[in-house]
Structure 1
């Protein structure tokens, strides 16, 4: 399985986003920062799924 790189990248993204959320909450940041963070997460997940679909279709 060569998907370990994708899962590693996904894990890193999740960890970074979690750290950002915790950091913004600790610094009582404005809600729009969290909205931007979650929008970024959704975009990344969509890109991951598109990548998976493309890879499966090319096999």
Structure 2
């Protein structure tokens, strides 16, 4: 089986492996959701931070 990047585990691989274990699947989805929320919060914080700097 050929994979795009050998030796590197992708997020989709983890989701695929835990899909039948409801508890682990829910935890993985929860962590992924939190990760996305943190990315958005960091981006919004950076935009506010840089918007407040006078040129």
Q: Identify the TM-score tier after normalising by the shorter chain.
A: 0.5 to 0.7
Quick check: which one's helix share is greater?
1
Query: Under a length normalisation based on structure 2, what TM-score does the superposition of the two structures give?
Result: 0.65
Q: Which runs of 5 or more residues in structure 2 are unaligned?
A: 1-8, 51-55
Q: Which runs of 5 or more residues in structure 1 are unaligned?
A: 1-14
Query: Under a length normalisation based on structure 1, what TM-score does the superposition of the two structures give?
Result: 0.61
Higher relative contact order (CA 8 A, sep 6+): 1
RMSD over aligned Cα atoms: 1.6
Tell me which stretches of 4 or more aligned residues in structure 1 moved more than 4 Å.
none
